[in-house]
Amino acid sequence: MKRPPQGRAIGVVGLGYVGIATAVSFANSGKKVVGYDVDDERMMSLKKGKAPIFEPGLSELVSRHVKNGRLSFADSVDDLIGACNVIFIAVPTPSAKDGTIDLSFLKQAAQDLGYAQSRNPGWRLFVVKSTVVPGTTMNDFAPTMAKCTGGTLGTGFSVASNPEFLAEGTMVEDALHPPRIVIGITDEKSEKLLKSIYAGFHSKVVVLSPTAAELVKYASNSMLATRVSFANEISRMAEKAGVDVYPVLDAVGMDPRIGGKFMRAGPGFGGSCFTKDIKALIAWAKASGLETSLISATLDVNDRQARHVVDLARESTGGLKGKRVALLGLSFKPDTSDTRDSRAYTIVEELLWQEATVSLYDPVAVENFRRGLPHGVADEIGGRLFFASSLKEALRGSDIAIIQCDWEEFRRTPTANWKLLKDKLVVDSRRTLDRKALARNGVRYVSVGLGLD
Ligand code: UGA
């Protein structure tokens, strides 16, 4: 490791999206940060000052802080422990088949850090940043640490929870300027240390217990997802009532008790977090003997909404059998190549089920989408699933288009290009295009929550 800062640096273990964004945000606030990840390729890239993933603003900050020495990387957990008095753990907690979270990466990290701590004594604070269900830090992480360190919680070491609220695409901005910082601690020493680390962020620090902090993370994501499903359910009513849901929800959001954010109707939410977190919370609640009618419904509405987009296309054409549909936008939101849990998968499934042929296009996410298809699907479907290399290629030869994700490229495409569609019909699930301009060009426009008022 190059010039390790001694003793009082901040450690970050697990350098995925959250870990790197967290590390650069601390470095940017003037702190010394040491990172570690088990992935050698990732570490090699970071040591050279190169961000191994794309996120706006990330590569500049990684390069700047590696150069100025505030951000360095340890070759082993022991090196990291030697350099730090506080270590943030941001390893993945993926979904297991039954919806619960898989804690194996966190357990491994706790063991590695615990044994390294036993070889490098002195009080340290271990902070769980990974998303974990209520109770995990105190009931799983802390006992594993105690066992491996041979020390006692509170005197030999302390644990804390510090959930992240970073959204993809704005991760760096969110990490640098968090609207609130939630820390879950068990002693004053940990509270003082975490508050001093976050002092430079000028954000409100909410102090809770570790278990309460863990619940804040799940409650926040469940609330956001529920707002989206709520907007989508109201959008179906707007369609029946013959009105446009967008101005309706804008007016609803003007009530300061409600607020207008996160109420855009569309094809439903995707991404690596909402569905995973809600499933984990439901599984945790069930194991605790609780019913979760509201957040369970959030997932049901979300699944139906993506299928409803296909229904809108079917109802507007009188059947999709034998039709060729250009499905545009494969990532879960624009400006990312991330296709995890993208609604595009559900839409493709439904289109194939309704015996349509699908031509897929995305400016950056095609490869990720292909990799995320269930094994063998592309082969099994034979000639009914195509990947187009440009928007024009996807439109040419297709009967209709469905926009799943509102990429700027679609917005900027000359209106005349949409006339390439044989049925001259666009189903725009995200209000990407100018419907009046399309109408002037003889292209029909259908959208989620757009009743014919
Ligand atoms: C989400 C949360 O916003 C973050 O605060 C949280 O930290 C993160 O999960 C996580 O747990 O790690 P993210 O999944 O990156 O972040 O993306 P969002 O911007 O929240 O969007 C999620 C989905 O909801 C997208 O598919 C988006 O298109 C959809 N959405 C969002 C709507 O359909 N309507 C809206 O009004 C807002």
Query: Tens digits of per-residue pLDDT, 293-334?
Result: 999 999 999 999 999 999 999 999 989 999 999 999 999 999
Q: Read off φ and ψ for residue 224, nearest 5 degrees.
A: -60, -45
- CA 164/CA 187 separation, integer angstroms: 21
State if residue 164 touches ligand 1 by the CB under 6 angstroms criterion. Answer: yes
Atom of ligand 1 lying closest to residue 168 CA = 15
- The answer, yes or no, to whether any atom of ligand 1 lies below 6 A from the CB of 335, is no
Q: Give distance in angstroms: CA of 237 to centre of ligand 1.
A: 23
- 3-state SS record for the chain: CCCCCCCCEEEEECCCHHHHHHHHHHHHCCCCEEEECCCHHHHHHHHCCCCCCCCCCHHHHHHHHHHCCCEEECCCHHHHHHHEEEEEECCCCCECCCCCECCHHHHHHHHHHHHHHHHCCCCEEEEECCCCCCCHHHHHHHHHHHHHHCCCECCCEEEEECCCCCCCCCHHHHHHCCCEEEEECCCHHHHHHHHHHHHHHCCEEEEECHHHHHHHHHHHHHHHHHHHHHHHHHHHHHHHHCCEHHHHHHHHHCCCCCCCCCCCCCCCCCCCCHHHHHHHHHHHHHHCCCCCHHHHHHHHHHHHHHHHHHHHHHHHHCCCCCCEEEEECCCCCCCCCCCCCCHHHHHHHHHHHCCCEEEEECCCCHHHHHHHCCCCHHHHCHHHEEECCCHHHHHCCCCEEEECCCCHHHHHCCHHHHHHCCCCEEEECCCCCCHHHHHHCCCEEEECCECCC
Per CATH, domain 9-211 is 3.40.50.720: yes
Q: Is any ligand 1 atom within 6 A of the Cβ of residue 270? A: yes
pLDDT in tens, 189-221: 999 999 999 999 999 999 999 999 999 999 999
Distance 168 CA to ligand 1 centre (A): 8
Query: Whose C-alpha lies nearest to ligand 1, atom 29?
Result: 269
How far the first Cα of the chain sits from its last, in Å, is: 66
State the distance from the centre of ligand 1 to the C-alpha of 260, rounded, in angstroms: 15
Distance CA 329, CA 313 (A): 16
Beta bridge partners of 386: 359
Give the closest residue (by CA) to ligand 1 atom 6. 165
| The pLDDT value given to residue 54 | 84
CA distance 335 to 58: 14
CA of 18 from ligand 1 middle (Å) equals: 14
Identical fold between 9-211 and 253-452:
yes
Query: What is the C-alpha separation between 357 and 366, in angstroms, rounded?
Result: 17
Q: Whose CA is nearest to atom 24 of ligand 1?
A: 269
Q: 0.85 cut: is pTM over it?
A: yes
> 389 and 359 in contact (C-beta within 8 Å)?
no
Q: How far apart are CA 285 and CA 292, in angstroms?
A: 7
pLDDT value at residue 3: 47
pLDDT of 4: 43
- pLDDT tens digits, the chain, 453 residues: what are they? 544 445 689 999 999 999 999 999 999 999 999 999 999 999 999 999 999 988 899 999 999 999 999 999 999 999 999 999 999 999 999 999 999 999 999 999 999 999 999 999 899 999 999 999 999 999 999 999 999 999 899 899 999 999 999 999 899 999 999 999 999 999 999 999 999 999 999 999 999 999 999 999 999 999 999 999 999 999 999 999 999 999 999 999 999 999 999 999 999 999 999 999 999 999 999 999 999 999 999 999 999 999 999 999 999 998 999 999 999 999 999 988 999 999 999 999 999 999 999 999 999 999 999 999 986 666 656 678 999 999 999 999 999 999 999 999 999 999 999 999 999 999 999 999 999 999 999 999 999 999 975
**Ligand 1 atom closest to residue 332's alpha carbon, by position in its atom list:** 26
Q: Which of 168, 223, 248 to mutate to test the pocket of ligand 1 (most atoms within 8 A of CB)?
A: 168
Q: Which CATH class is domain 253-452?
A: alpha beta
CA gap 150, 137 in Å, rounded: 18
CA separation, residue 215 to residues 58, 210, 222, 262, 277 (Å): 28, 9, 10, 20, 11
Q: Whose CA is nearest to atom 3 of ligand 1?
A: 167
* 148 flagged as catalytic: no
Measure the CA–CA gap between 285 and 196, rounded to whole angstroms: 35
Q: Would you say the CB of residue 334 lies under 6 angstroms from ligand 1?
A: no
Structure tokens at 311: 């229904």
Does the Cβ of 269 fall within 6 Å of ligand 1?
yes
What is the spatial distance between Cα 289 and Cα 292, in angstroms, rounded to a whole number? 10
- Domain layout of the chain by residue ranges: 9-211, 253-452
